[in-house]
Structure 1
């Protein structure tokens, strides 16, 4: 007896998959206030879970190793937020001191624009909106909101504690999962490993970039050079967009403390340094570390930033790795997707060089 059921057309399957993906994406965007903190807490716990494992191997009591683990996670999170808040605070504090320089700069700019044929009223209405004294107010407000957000993030802190406790007992669960679903367990283990690799590579290149930027700003006598170097190192965790965030304060101070030529020099030097370390060298190592191509990295930044906001842009790579671990890696029929989104260099390493026709294949029986 033959099977009379007609196969589902491939076009219909693709349309249903796209529709389901759109529904999931819109749902994630609506609940981004929940998904983003959960993912941040998960990434932090995954990053520092080896600390707990190392303490347990040293026979540290369970309660003490758990407390140390939680303190490390909270300490890193608070340190990152403190650097960003301190940068905004210091920038808001020193900007009013450049008010006279700004007035002279605007006056010279108005004269040049007038020489190019622009009307005086138009110039006055445009440049009159820039006032460093008014700019320091919004910066201070932003700092207070950031501090208030951290002070009231009870949910995130509680989630970190609970996930930290759960992570200490993840070993037996993964063993059981490996017995029931070996490919899924291997995919989740690869997600945790690749997330740590991504964060480690990003931290190393952030430190290199921040040091280079600090030396540059010290040489140019830009105020608070060390602070802007730390800001550049922290912002290195935000792909592509973080470079702009780290560039704005020193470029603004170079413009106000010197002239437009100094600002252009700072911008060009920042572009060259960051292009060398973060755009050319870093993706070369990240591709090997996590197995995701540079193109996918850029697309994931835009996508997760749109879905989850600024925190989604910071967590773009871990979120992409998690989606890959859930949707691609456990399914043997999805090997084609790995070939499309994986690192090109990793694929080259996995492909064996062809043997010539005149030489026997040593693997042949």
Structure 2
């Protein structure tokens, strides 16, 4: 095996070890990563308060109050909408049972006996309860450490200035400081713009459900807002429950209209508005975004799926400042970066032979 193959094998082994470590330490890493994102999102409030003469600790407290207010408001809305859903569950169970019985009869009339029996025996109540418990446990895992996340985020914001001073004493500080500053700036822009786009998606989805007289329209709007943070597929997943419920309660035509409305919202927001607003800020290939969501979701759970894009952005920026790994950054980049030839040629034994 030549030097190139040995280095590639070593790189793959290191990636496997790091991935296992991330998965193993996910209970520790998840609150830390959430606090870093909260700190990045609250940094503009922190800096704005400091510019107006507020002490650092007071600015950090104000930023955390803003974040806590947003989280508390979202939690209250979800609780109210969830109570409305709980009150409507008996009606939904009766409608689902009728739909299930009718579907089994239709299948039996078409001589699909086995499928008809399976549909008739399907225990929707048990399945829905298990799904609800899974969703609640995931939500509890995310929000259960809110106090820890907020405290860590406050310390991260307070530590930022000291961290810059520490970097200035390191021989390679200019490059490390550039990486840190660019990664923080890109993550901040992504979080704020993604929140804006998710808010627009949630409002439009809720308005669509209300216009089509879908029950619990506020809940479905909040679900669309939350799941839109999962890139590309989150907003589509958010449509499954309201469309399925509409199919059972009102029939195929209203369900098809609702599905078409969700599709239009996703196409307009995800493929027209969001790229124009964000421009090339992400710098990631669409395929990379989807694969990263799956990979980070496997390593860190639901939080990893939600934070997959900023985590991949930070990774891309970091390896982009390494001569030996810049090619990885280019592979993760979008088409415009692939056409960019202004960067210096790749160096190192892992670079393609044509570039050496």
TM-score class normalised by the smaller sequence:
0.7 to 0.9
Question: Does the Cα contact within 8 Å between 1:92 and 1:137 map onto a contact in 2?
Answer: no
- Give me the whole-angstrom Cα distance separating, in 2, the residues matched to 1:316 and 1:179: 32
Distance of 2:11 and 2:338 partners within structure 1: 27
Aligned equivalent of 1:108? 102
Report the counterpart of residue 350 of structure 2 in structure 1.
none
Q: Deviations over 1:118-159 (max 9, x none)?
A: 22x752443332445x56644664576467657752xx5234
Q: 2-side partners of 1:297 and 1:151: how far apart?
A: 25
Q: Is the 8 A contact 1:178 1:184 kept in 2?
A: no
Corresponding residue to 2:10 among 8, 13, 16: 16
Alpha-carbon separation, structure 2, partners of 1:179 and 1:151: 38
Contact 2:81 2:216 in 1 (8 A): no
Secondary structure of the residue aligned to 1:291 is coil
Deviation per CA, 1:64-116: give whole Å up to 9, x if none.
32221222233334444555555554433312213333233223212221122
Partner residue, 1:76: 70
Deviation at 1:183, TM superposition (A): 1.2
Return the match for 1:199 from 191, 208, 226. Answer: 191
Could you tell me the TM-score, scaled by structure 2's length? 0.84
Query: Could you tell me which residue of structure 1 aligns to residue 147 of structure 2?
Result: 157
**Counterparts in 2 of 1:144 and 1:89: CA distance versus 1, 3 Å:** farther
Structure 2 gap segments, 5+ residues each: 344-356
2:119 aligns with: 126
Root-mean-square deviation over aligned CA pairs: 3.0
Which segment drifts farther, 70-79 or 207-216?
70-79
Return the match for 2:258 from 251, 256, 266.
266
- Of 249, 252, 260 in structure 2, the residue corresponding to residue 257 of structure 1 is 249
Computing the radius of gyration from Cα coordinates, the structure with the larger value is 1
State how far apart, in whole Å, the 2-side matches of 1:269 and 1:35 are: 38
Q: Would you say 1:342 and 2:333 are equivalent positions?
A: yes
1:209 aligns with 2:201: yes
- Correspondence for 2:321: 330
1-structure distance, mates of 2:138, 2:331: 40
Counting only pairs closer than 5 Å after superposition, residues 1-365 of structure 1 correspond to structure 2 as: 9-84=3-78, 87-119=81-113, 123-132=116-125, 134=126, 137-138=129-130, 141=133, 145=137, 149=141, 152-153=144-145, 157-178=147-168, 180=170, 181-283=173-275, 285-286=277-278, 288-326=280-318, 328-345=319-336
Runs of 4+ in 1 over 6 A off after TM superposition: 349-352
Q: Distance in 1 between matches of 2:85 and 2:212?
A: 18
Compare 96-105 and 121-130 and name the one that shifted more.
121-130
Counterparts of 1:19 and 1:209, CA distance in 2? 41
User: Displacement, 1:295?
Assistant: 1.9
Shift of residue 237 of structure 1?
0.7
